[in-house]
Amino acid sequence: MQIFKVGGAVRDRLLGKPVTDIDWVVVGASTEEMLAKGYRPVGADFPVFLHPKSGEEYALARTERKSGRGYGGFTFHASPEVTLEEDLIRRDLTINAMAEDDQKNLTDPYHGQRDLEQRILRHVSPAFAEDPLRVLRVARFGARYAGLGFTVAPETMELMRQLSESGELQALTAERSWKEISRALMEDQPQVFIQVLRDCGALKVLMPEVDALFGVPQPEAHHPEIDTGLHTLSVLEQSALHKQPLTVRWACLLHDLGKGLTPEEEWPRHIAHEHTGLKLIKAVNERFKAPKDCQELALLVGKYHTHGHRALELKASTLLELLQSFDVYRRPQRFEEFIAACEMDARGRKGLEQRSYPQADYLRGAAKVAREVAVQPLLEKGFKGPELGEALKRERLKALKAYKDNA
């Protein structure tokens, strides 16, 4: 029985990056031996055990064979006869198919270390094409390591293209897809994830609404980059540079979907794209079963981001409607995330990445003024029920008019 550290832990140590999760593979052992040593079984599909003391996961070396469609369409075989090399060959990328023993002796049958040095994301074997989830995984690794100069090997990109055209991507569950998408969006360069998906044809399968933005022009005066797809990538890039949370990054990705529906004869203008885009944002939200906070913010940013940009020009009554729409009294954080998404949108324009965004502080100030309107004096005047709500609205409007006059 031999135990090896495998996958990401080995890769990241060789890259000089901090190692967080450690995967262990056990070669030459049976389920009975693992149980006898006090390991606790967890996996129903294949033999995975928890270490009796550390609680870390240890998997028996295994082989796998394609038996159906999608990510789950595999049968596994684990036995003491399965070698370390056989276990490693079923992994996705060569840089994830290395192992080391407790003396840090490296087992690297598929030249992962060489690909690390050459900054290449390359598939281990043709079996890569059996698992559609790997298209998303490779794009995610592209986003993670783009800053180190990593690119996808042409032959791997070709396999990803074949997978995208095969119909296999549609077999992925919403949950598995969202797990990869959400992790990718939180990488250092999430825009690379979208670009890699587009390069291999997966974006038009998974998110045709986003893919449709590429090649759609916008007015150069507001958008020096012109192309709506490139603008979306830039907004996503800004959201990562400014360390925004997942909710904001998701909203940044979807905020301009309505521009993909503008008839060509109306280009480069996109009148009412905020409203036409809502049904598309809703469709993408539902397709991936995005968490509720991500769904809500994406819809609100889609609908109101131009209000954000025009904040200084808005009438007090429009400003109040905007604040009410976000329920800034009970959910102040959501409005803060809206402001962040609007600022990322403003910065995601060629040559304008460093410009100031005075609308942010103006909107924060307006929210503060509206929140500070006291209810107690209105109660003391006898207002209650719907009448109280209307009176409160009038007082907030009065406060916002004063705020606007003094701004």
Number of neighbouring beta carbons within 10 Å of residue 203 = 24
CB-based contact 135:197 (threshold 8 Å): yes
- Look at residue 44 in the predicted model and tell me its pLDDT: 67
> So what's the pLDDT on residue 46?
67
For 158-213, the pLDDT digits (tens) are: 999 999 999 999 999 999 999 999 999 999 999 999 999 999 999 999 999 999 99
Q: Please state the domain extents for the chain.
A: 1-110, 119-206, 216-363, 376-406
Handedness of CA 182, 186, 191, 192 (dihedral sign): negative
Cβ contacts of 58 within 8 Å, gap of 6 or more: 3, 24, 25, 26, 34, 39, 48, 49, 50, 51
- The reported pLDDT for the residue numbered 173 is 95
The two three-digit tokens of residue 379, written as one number? 């109660």
The hierarchical CATH code for the domain 1-110 is 3.30.460.10
Cis upstream peptide for 386 (omega within 30°): no
pLDDT at res. 365: 97
Are domains 1-110 and 119-206 of this chain identical in fold? no
CA distance 46 to 23: 15
d(CA 67, CA 77): 12
Architecture (CATH level 2) of domain 216-363: Orthogonal Bundle (1.10)
User: Which CATH code of 2.40.50.140, 3.40.50.10320, 2.30.30.100, 1.10.110.30 fits the domain covering 119-206?
Assistant: 1.10.110.30
**pLDDT at residue 20 in the model:** 84
What is the distance between the alpha carbons of residues 51 and 71, in angstroms, rounded to a whole number?
27
**Sequence-ordered list of residues with C-beta below 8 angstroms from that of 242, at least 6 positions apart, any chain:** 340, 343, 344
Residue ranges of the chain with per-residue pLDDT less than 50: none
What predicted TM-score, i.e. pTM, was given to this entire model? 0.93
Please give the mean pLDDT across all residues of the chain.
94
Q: What tens digit of pLDDT does each residue of 216-271 get? A: 999 999 999 999 999 999 999 999 999 999 999 999 999 999 999 999 999 999 99
